[in-house]
Amino acid sequence: MSEQSPYVVGIDLGTTHCAISYIDTEIEEGEEGAGEIQVFAIPQLVRPGTCADETLLPSFLYLPGEHELAEEQAALPFDSEQSSLVGVFARDQGTKVPDRGVHSSKSWLCHSGVDRRGKILPWDSDPEEVDKISPLEAQTRLLKYIRAAWDSTAEADEHKLATQEVFLTVPASFDPEARELTVEAARAAGLQRVTLLEEPQAAFYSWLGAGGESWREQLAVGDLVLILDVGGGTTDLSLIAVREEEGNLSLERVAVGEHLLLGGDNMDLALAHIAAQRLKEEKGKDLNPWQARSLWQACRAAKEKLLTSDKKDTAPVTVLGRGSKLIGSSLKTELRRDDLNTVLLNGFFPECKRDEGPAKRRGVGLAEIGLPFASDAGITRHVSAFLQAQDEVDGVEDGFAYPSAVLFNGGVFKGGVLRERALEVLASWATKGQEPMRALEGEDLDLAVARGAAYYGLVRRGKGVRIRGGTARSYYVGIESALPAVPGMPAPLKALCVAPFGLEEGTSAQVSEREFSLLIGEPAEFRFLGSTIRKEDTAGQLLDRWGDEELEELAPLEVTIPAGDGQEAGSVVPVTLRSVVTEIGTLEVHCVGRDGAAHKLEWNVREQE
Amino acid sequence: MRFFLALQAFFAVLFRGVIPVAALPAPDALPDGYLSGAGKSKELEEKAAALTSERDAAQSERDAAIKERDEAQAKITELEAESVKAQAAALETSENATAAKQEAEIRAAKAEEEKKELAERVESLTTERESAKAKLGEARDDGALALAAWLQREGRLIDFLQEDIDEYEDEQIGAAVRAIHKGCKKVMDEGFALERILEGEEESPVTVPEGFDPVSISLSGKVSGDPPFKGTLMHHGWRSTAVKVPVSETVDTKVLAAAEVEL
């Protein structure tokens, strides 16, 4: 396994789009194209019966039924090893027949409120009609498709994706079980050499790679860089600190934000609501679902027009008739610059003070049953809350980590207006004597994550500076106190730290000498908690109290220790706990018996109450 | 804007599939000003007929090549099976059948040789097929280019699509669209025989029968159970039963509209 593969491949497995980049490492240094990051154009059905190469693969599956598509309409020039359709046509067909379209499967994969191995997607459809699939299976099929598409262009066996070193990106806010499920999906898809990388870090690697050594001039010791990554469906925050190590600059990812289901799609949807309202007021028309979807797309186009040019203050929004009477049944309204200011700037990037945080009530963000969307759409407020929580980061005074620079990522920031607004708000948080935050100029906002992931492949081979990171939170096992029950009061919970923040890949932490009694032959369950805030806790530390905001309960862990020779099922053995961060970036917690035998605690990904 | 989209859709449809089977025009179907004299018309007609028969020949050549290749492949499979069988037989009869074994080996070798020959044949057929396909592709491109040029000539469609219409008011665009509509409609009427796929009023109930063709009828909404399906007709669809797009043999088809110079 340690042999180097001909290619290093970065896969951005996004909520709304996937992208793939690679570097051909067989080109000798000094030759043309050495170390160059290439983007793999993904062959996919774009219309019935038409396959084309696109740089982005929409992360949509369509589960065809018996009747609505002819075989030749779904035919691909290569074998995708599955019946589901993937990509542009799958997305479009999924809006026509919503019961059979699977979207946002990545958000479901990290949703601890549902059974992620259960056949629950498409969420609202009738299981009698549609063979539903699990979020895990959906991610597997996406990756399987990507592998088949790659292999269709790879002639030699040693160039097939299965054996390449693949760097797969996940949100920094993904918890350990979501990371593990992602790795499981990759394995099931036949990828044998997968390593995980956090998306904001990937965006930062892309920036590092694009500028060569020039980053050393742009950043200085003591700098903090905020990465603000607003994708189609999620917003992801990370902080990277620039430090000095033996006379050299080094980089460390010192904090990550909470998982926020808030992104570009919410923005378009919010604008579509305004346009729909306007149609209702002006023309007295209510939209049917088909028109509502067209309106959503028309609003997206109008938004892009207004954001990229300041020549006009309105952009027309037209929904054409669905029938053959094109003009007779078309609807027209407009989107105004004021709408963008109200909805996008004030709704998603509101001016706010540095000590403000997100409101707890439901705001402009639109809710869809099932996924836990962020209740406050104000991204800037989420950022200020994130920075306020970082009082343990080095050099931070007055309890607020004020970054010296920000790197924007995600298609949302293609509109210069939004980037300027965000920067304006961030800069306003500087106190006396602080330089206002400056923006690092990133490159392709859609492809940076995939490109950075491929570049990370080279970094892992010692070519370039590596960002130190480790676990994105500190993790705890909950222990219920042995106290008599008091009516109306839950038994107080204590939290034992099993993995400190920043535990690095390939290392492990022994959790004190404390022993637990475990029944043999029966499943034992551990409650499991994580914190992005308590970064100083060490493995083995026992907390008996903490602030509401500090610890968040995750899906429980479960272990069954089989009865060995001469042991009776139902008897009790003493065990200690140990945590390991694997080389590929997943966290494992083990129960270790006195005889040294270790048993891995499995994530219990079934539905939580 | 609306019409722009409509035409784009039409355009897309035409470019996708209709062109390759373009029949050649009857002279009276040619647009005004296309021909300069009766003699020329005859000449063009002959050339056009020649192109059609060349294309037909390419198609049948290709079909023949595919068939021959498939037969050859079947033969290979058969021979491979035979070869395996022969080898197995040779192994089985170990002691008293050395001679038989040798014979089987000879047969296996012979089969191997035959297989090699056939593989070569398949390869040459594949090359032949590729060149036939390339010829077909050229004919297809010429048809697409001719249609684009025709739409430009009659309806100024290329000028319209290439102009930035964001700068103008809807009223101005609407007035221009009437003229474009008139010209492009002429192309549609002369070049294609359009018919509806489903009869009946849009927005009214319709039944999709058992054994329907999913390429002609696209279902949306809640698709469940087996046909016949009851639904609402949203769009009656269009089908073209004949195509007559004139392709010039003498003029460079890549020129969609000539540059105009006044002296």
CA A483 to chain CA centroid, nearest Å = 40
Q: Which residues contact A540 (CB under 8 A, 6 or more apart)?
A: A496, A497, A510, A511, A512, A514
Strongest mean pLDDT among A565-569, A583-587, B194-198: B194-198
Report the SS3 class of residue A392. Answer: coil
Interface residue A330 vs chain B (CB under 8 A): yes
Q: Chain A within 8 Å of B175 (Cβ-Cβ)?
A: no
User: Is A244 in a helix, a strand, or coil?
Assistant: strand
Q: Sign of the CA dihedral B23, B28, B33, B35?
A: positive
| Locus of tokens 């088809």 | B253
Smallest Cα distance from B197 to chain A, Å:
12
Neighbours of A45 (CB within 10 A): 23
Q: Find the radius of gyration of the CA atoms of chain A.
A: 25
Convert the pLDDT of each residue in A459-505 to its tens digit. 988 888 888 888 888 888 887 766 565 666 666 788 888 888 888 88
CB contact under 8 A, B1 and A65: no
Q: Phi first, then psi: what are they for A198, rounded to 5°?
A: -75, 140
> Smallest CA–CA separation between B215 and chain A, in Å?
6
For residue B259, the distance in angstroms to the closest alpha carbon of chain A comes to 32
B116 and chain A in contact, CB less than 8 A: no
Cite the DSSP H helix spans in A69-134. Answer: 88-96, 105-109
Distance in angstroms (rounded) separating the CA atoms of residues A120 and A607: 11
Give the pLDDT of residue B157. 95
Residue type, B161: L
- Interface with chain A: mutation pick from B180, B207, B217, B220, highest number of A CBs within 10 Å: B220
The interface pTM score, or ipTM, of the predicted complex is: 0.71
pLDDT band at B90 (very low <50, low <70, confident <90, very high): low
Strand residue runs (E) in chain B: 192-196, 205-208, 229-232, 238-243
- Band (pLDDT 50/70/90 cuts) for residue B208 is very high
What pLDDT, on a 0 to 100 scale, did the predictor assign at position B5?
45
Choose the closest CB to A324 out of B202, B221, B224: B202
Name the closest residue on chain B to residue A309, using Cα atoms: B166
The answer to whether the beta carbons of residues A304 and A317 sit under 8 Å apart is no
A170 vs A435 pLDDT, higher one: A170
| Interval A504-538: pLDDT, tens | 888 888 887 778 777 788 877 888 888 888 888 88
Contact B214 A73 (CB under 8 A): yes
Cα separation, A282 vs A79, in Å, equals 51
Mean pLDDT for B44-71 is 84
For residue A370, what pLDDT is reported?
61
A215-229, A564-578, B107-121: least confident range: A564-578
- Average pLDDT in the B117-134 region? 86
Q: Could you identify the residue written with the tokens 């690697």?
A: A205
Instruction: Give the confidence band of A549 by pLDDT, cuts at 50, 70, 90.
Output: confident
Tokens 């430009």, residue?
B152
The confidence band for B11, taking pLDDT boundaries of 50, 70 and 90, is very low
What is the Cα–Cα distance from A503 to B120, expressed in whole angstroms? Answer: 61
Q: Answer whether A70 sits within 8 Å of B238, measured CB to CB.
A: no
**Confidence grade of residue A197 (pLDDT, cut at 50, 70, 90):** very high
Residue A512 CB-density burial (10 A; 0-12 exposed, 13-18 middle, 19+ buried):
middle
Give residue-wise pLDDT tens across range A309-333: 777 888 888 888 888 888 877 888 8
Task: Determine which helix (DSSP H) or strand (DSSP E) holds A478, and give its type and residue range.
Answer: strand A474-480
Nearest-Cα residue of chain A relative to residue B225: A129
Contact B223 A100 (CB under 8 A): yes
* A96 to B227: CB separation less than 8 angstroms, yes or no: no
Which helix (H) or strand (E) segment holds residue B16: the answer is: none
Residue A486 confidence (pLDDT):
61
Cβ under 8 Å to A: B residues 188-227? 202-203, 212-215, 218-227
Interval A345-377: pLDDT, tens: 888 899 988 888 787 654 444 444 466 667 788
| Alpha-carbon span A102 to A63, nearest angstrom | 8
The pLDDT, as a whole number, for residue A18 is: 94
Structure token pair of residue A591: 């129960």
| Predicted local confidence at residue A66, as pLDDT | 85
Put simply, whether A310 touches B (Cβ < 8 Å) is no
- Tell me the residue type at A375: S
Q: What is the pLDDT of residue A488?
A: 61
Q: Residue A579: what pLDDT?
A: 87
Q: Which stretch of A224-238, A335-349, A512-526, B186-200 has the lowest confidence by average pLDDT?
A: A512-526
Note whether A463 and A23 are within 8 A (CB). no
Angle B61-B64-B70 (CA atoms, 0-180°, nearest 5)? 140
Tell me how far apart the alpha carbons of residues B163 and B255 are, in angstroms, rounded to a whole number: 19
A420, A343 contact by CB (below 8 A)? no
The whole-chain average pLDDT of chain A stands at 85
Chain A residue with the nearest C-alpha to that of B221: A97
CB A249 within 8 A of CB A241: no
CB–CB of B3 and A327 under 8 A?
yes
Residue type, A54: E
Shortest Cα–Cα distance, A323 to chain B (Å): 4
Q: Which two tokens stand for residue A403?
A: 């970054």
Please answer whether residues B259 and B39 qualify as being in contact, where contact means their C-beta atoms are separated by less than 8 angstroms.
no
Selecting from A73, A100, A324 the residue whose C-beta is nearest the C-beta of B236 gives A324
End-to-end CA distance of chain A: 41
DSSP string, A171-190: -TT--HHHHHHHHHHHHHTT
3-state secondary structure at position A331: strand
Q: Which of A385, A382, A379, A396 is nearest to A355 (CA)?
A: A385
Predicted local distance difference test score (pLDDT) of residue B4: 47
**pLDDT tens string A163-195:** 999 999 999 888 888 999 999 999 999 999 999
